Each structure stands twice: as structure tokens, then as C-alpha cells.
Amino acid sequence: MMVRIGMRCVLSVLVAVLLAGIGVSAAQTLDIYFIDVEGGQATLIVTPAGQSMLIDTGWDGFDNRDPKRILAAARDAGVKQLDYLLITHFHRDHAGGAPEVVRNLPVGTFVDYGEPIESGDFAQAAFKAYTPLRASGMYRRPAPGESIPLRDVEVQVVSSGGAVISRPLPGVSGAPNPACAGAAVPSADSGENPRSLGIQIQFGQFTFLDLGDLPGAKLASLACPNNLLRQADVYLVPHHGNSDSAMPAVIGAVSPRVAILNNGATKGGYAEGFAALRTAAGIEDVWQLHRTRNAGAVNFPDAFIANLEEGEKDEGAWLKVSADNTGAFTVTNGRTGVSKAYK
């Protein structure tokens, strides 16, 4: 009996070593880091199987501020390479940090919608720097309705390149959304934002929705006149909580338990966005990457804000979601280290 127990222990150690050697994580949670890039986006997703996807890379410049913050999150997560780098759109606040990120974190597959339609430097400069990186690895250009393969989780594309899904996601009835009747659709620009590549991630009973900067009519079409989306436990509010994404009919259709704002001190986080979230039924909490100082916007409590300062005093703290497949999850404030559980 002693020999058998000893052999089991030896075998357990060998299996653990082998799993570590091939990069398989023993974690049982889906971890999502919302990284402070001052009103752009950088969201690191790590699956229970140890696979990783980075959605956007923040800004370039600022002494590589945003890539440094992304790399810090990657170290915390034990990520040394990215299975996927997904670029929602080619604005500088979403794609600018790509060269420095890829220099430090090798990428297996690049995912985007093709090329920008805007001619200005805010999109073209970032795209020019990104193009040779994309050529160095595998590349996917998914259409709405397609999926991105990750072990343990389902990743479904709901918008890309100006197109959106035309039928409900699996398990969604596609019933009429009564909140759409008479609802105003905010005006939005016609450039890169409406072309955002948006995804919905399903891990067991837990769902996360990230639509990039999808605004206005394109955003509304996912929920009006019929709702095509699943309920989302965690909803990254599109376009940093700007007025062109502040649509109660969409928020009601998504019905998030937790909403997260990837805003900066003055970029995103507008009064209309805050008001729409405050009046939405069913939201348990709203978390912010930054305290806003935009006129008319009323911040949520400090405990739900990752960064209270700006400029040199800004520590670039992240928000981290850890979810299990029952649908339960926690949100941790990187500034305070305090977590809140959602059962």
C-alpha cells in the first residue's frame, strides 16, 4: 500500500511537470484583465487551459506606457506568449502599442477585420506599424457568426468590418425587444468605430461581451428590433462609455450583472453613458478603470474605480475578473487588492 501511494505521488508530480512544460495551466478559472491604457483598450484573456488572447494594445508613445502595463498583466497571469492578438479596429488607442507588445510577447495568430477605411494618421500610422507584425504569424479575418478556437471557451464574432450578425446567437430566441420602441439611436461617426470586431465569450454558464468601440446604429442593430445577443455577466461598455454607445435598449438586452468602463480621466466616461448605466435594471455594479472628471458624469464609488489619479500619480492599476464555469465570478480592484464575489 505504501508503495502504491508513493507511486501515485510520483506520477502526480510527473504529470504536473509535463503539463507545466507544455504550458497547460492548472487554473480552473477564466481570467480577464482590463488594463488601464487611458481610454483605449487592452483586455487580456487567459483560459483555464492556459491559452491567451489579448484584445487591443492601447496607445503607442508615452515612453511605452501601455505596452509596459500589458506586460505587467501578462507576468501576473503567467503569460509568456499570446495565442491570439485581436485588434478590434485600427485607431491608435487600440492598435498603437502592437509593435512593442509583439516584440515582448510572441503571437501565434493575429485577428482583425482587414484594413482601415480612414485616411488620417490616427488609423493609418497604427496600421502601417501593425501590418508587418501581422505578416509574421498566422492570420484570421473572421466574419460575424464565425468562431475563434480556444480550448474550454467559445468565442463567437458578432461584428466585424462594418457587418454584424443577422441571426440570434445559439440559445437566444431573437424575440422582439420592447425597449426598442421609440428609442433614439445616438449618431455616430462613419469611420473605424462602426467597423469594430466584437466578440462574445462563453465559459460554461459565464458570458463576457466585448464590442470594441461599436457605436450608434451598428450597436443598436444587435438588440433592435430583435435581440440577437446572450445575456452577459460582464459587459465591457462599448466606446469607453461615450454618448454614442449610451443606449438603454442595448443595455437592457444584454442585461449585464457587471458593467466595466475602459475610460480615462477625460477620454470616454461621458455623462450620458453614466446615466444610462445608472438607470438600467439588473446591473449589480459598474466598475471604472478611471475616475472621470467629465462635466455632468457622476462617478461610481471609489471602491469600484481602479485609478483615482492621473498623470504622474496614475499607477495604471487593472481590474481583473476571474470566472468559473458555474457563472460565479469575482472582480478584483488592482489598486486596492480587494475583490467582490458575484454568485
User: Which of 258, 324, 307, 308 is closest to 286 using CA atoms?
Assistant: 258
- pLDDT at position 11, please? 39
Q: Is residue 232 part of a domain?
A: yes
Dihedral through CA 56, CA 57, CA 58, CA 59, nearest 10? -130
Are the C-beta atoms of 33 and 320 separated by less than 8 Å?
yes
pLDDT at res. 221? 97
Residue with cell string 492578438: 85
DSSP 9-66: HHHHHHHHHHHHHTT-----SEEEEE---SSS--EEEE-TTS-EEEE----S-GGGHH
* Residue at 17 is within a domain: no
Mean pLDDT over 329-334 rounds to 98
The count of domains in the chain is 1
Asked whether residue 129 is domain-assigned, the answer is yes
Determine, yes or no, domain membership for 8.
no
Tell me, yes or no, whether 21 lies in a domain: no
For the cut 50, the answer to whether the pLDDT of residue 117 exceeds it is yes
What CATH number should be reported for the domain holding residue 285? 3.60.15.10
**Cβ–Cβ < 8 Å for 323, 29:** yes
Residue 268 or residue 23, greater confidence: 268
* pLDDT tens string 148-203: 999 999 999 999 999 999 999 999 999 999 999 989 999 888 899 999 999 999 99
Per-residue pLDDT at 131: 98
DSSP code of residue 301: P
Asked if residue 189 belongs to a domain, the reply is yes
Number of other residues whose CB lies within 10 A of the CB of residue 175: 11
What is the domain extent for residue 150?
27-342
* DSSP SS3 for 95: helix
User: Would you state the cell numbers that stand for residue 179, as one nine-digit string?
Assistant: 425597449
Q: What is the largest CA-CA distance in the chain?
A: 74
Residues in the chain: 343
Q: Can you tell me the distance from the alpha carbon of 247 to that of 265, in angstroms, rounded to the nearest whole number?
A: 22
C-alpha cell read off for 278: 445608472
Query: Quick check: is 11 in a domain?
Result: no
Residue in this structure with the C-alpha cell 505587467, named with its chain if needed: 72
Task: Please give the Cα distance from 203 to 314 (Å, whole number).
Answer: 33
Residue 256 has pLDDT above 90, yes or no: yes
**Separation of alpha carbons 45 and 22, rounded Å:** 19
Report pLDDT digits (tens) over 273-326: 999 999 999 999 999 999 999 999 999 999 999 999 998 899 999 999 999 999
Which tens digits make up the pLDDT trace of 2-47?
Answer: 333 344 444 343 434 444 444 334 469 999 999 999 999 999 999 9
Grid cell digits, residue 168: 440570434
Average pLDDT, the chain: 92
Residues 6 or more apart whose Cβ sits within 8 Å of residue 41: 55, 56, 58, 88, 93, 94, 212, 213, 236, 262
C-alpha cell at 261: 468602463
pTM: 0.91
In the chain, the percentage of residues whose pLDDT exceeds 70 is: 92
Give pLDDT tens digits for 77-105: 999 999 999 999 999 999 999 999 999 99
Task: From 335, 271, 299, select the one nearest 35 (Cα to Cα).
Answer: 335
Give 288-333 as a DSSP string.
ESS----TT--PPPGGGBS----GGG-----EEEEE-TTS-EEEEE
263 vs 196: CA distance, rounded Å: 17
Cβ–Cβ < 8 Å for 49, 151? yes
All three cell numbers of 7, joined, read: 507511486
Residues contacting residue 155 through CB under 8 Å, at least 6 positions apart: 53, 147, 148, 149, 199, 200, 201
Q: How many CB atoms lie within 10 A of CB 65?
A: 18
Helix (H, G, I), strand (E, B) or coil at 177: coil
pLDDT confidence of residue 26: 47
Give the number of other CB atoms < 10 A from CB of residue 319: 27
At 113, the amino acid letter reads Y
> What residues does 138 pair with on adjacent strands?
109
Q: Which pLDDT does position 27 carry in this prediction?
A: 65
How many CB atoms sit inside 10 A of residue 140's CB?
14
Reported as a single tens digit per residue, the pLDDT across 200-248 is: 999 999 999 999 999 999 999 999 999 999 999 999 999 999 999 999 9
Q: Which residue has the cell 486596492?
A: 336
Amino acid 311: pLDDT: 87
Give residue 6's pLDDT. 43
CB of 148 within 8 A of CB of 84?
yes
